[in-house]
Chain A
């Protein structure tokens, strides 16, 4: 596609439910990043992928968070047993390779009620 696509754009879920957030990067981009943006806070780095591999998962807030990437393309961020503090905008970005400019998707606004 022309840009990074994220789905859904908005998600409201009940506390305790699992959610999956999807990111379709720009075709040919090998690096993929996940960020979280909470109200009043900056962008928080969660995880990045180089190909299908995630060398550094230390940014994930808890073991309820996991992410995978398949075929060097689509990535899914899964949050299990959602909590209210998980409410945020989750942003995905991709770049041609590491350390080049990253292009962001529109984000998924997650609201846990």
Chain B
């Protein structure tokens, strides 16, 4: 079955530092999604990547999908306390066609210390 592994499981950084979160799949992905979750606020959509080698940025967050479409990274530049939360990668597994079942990694808990 399709599994997504995220690393690290948790991360504490000082404000202003850069950080990277990784998401790895054992199989080729049809689409890769990044979400952020704060307690009591549900999941907030960040970015979606579909093409091998694709890279997208929004404010200080950049997400990349590798050429094989099996690994994605989320990079935050000059972290701020507002970046704190749980980051989840989600993927639509590809088995010769989209399954329409978004599956998720276990998440990365990010804390940013002022």
Contact = CB atoms under 8 A, between A and B. Distances in A.
B93 to A, nearest CB: 10
A43 B104 contact: yes
User: B-side binding surface: helix, strand, loop or mixed?
Assistant: strand
B90 A43 contact: yes
Given A99-B30, A105-B42, A106-B41, A41 B35 contact: no
Interface residues of B, number: 24
Interface string A11-23: 0000000000000
Interface in A68-96: 91, 93
A65 interface: no
A101 B41 contact: no
A42 B107 contact: yes
Interface stretch (B14-22, B61-69, B70-78, B94-102): B94-102
A contact face: mostly helix, strand, loop, or mixed: loop
Interface of A: 4, 31, 33, 35, 41-43, 45, 48, 50, 55-56, 59, 91, 93, 98-107
Nearest to A58: B101
Contact of B103 (A45, A91, A103, A106): A45
B101 A99 contact: no
Contact of B42 (A50, A55, A91): A91
A106 B104 CA distance: 17
Contacts of A33: 102
A108 B103 CA distance: 19
A34 B30 CA distance: 20
Nearest to B3: A42
B101 A104 contact: no
A106 B33 CA distance: 18
A56 B88 contact: no
A107 B40 CA distance: 8
A43 B100 CA distance: 15
19 contacts: A33-B102, A41-B106, A42-B104, A42-B107, A43-B103, A45-B103, A48-B101, A59-B101, A99-B30, A99-B31, A99-B100, A101-B33, A102-B45, A102-B102, A104-B35, A104-B42, A104-B44, A105-B42, A107-B42
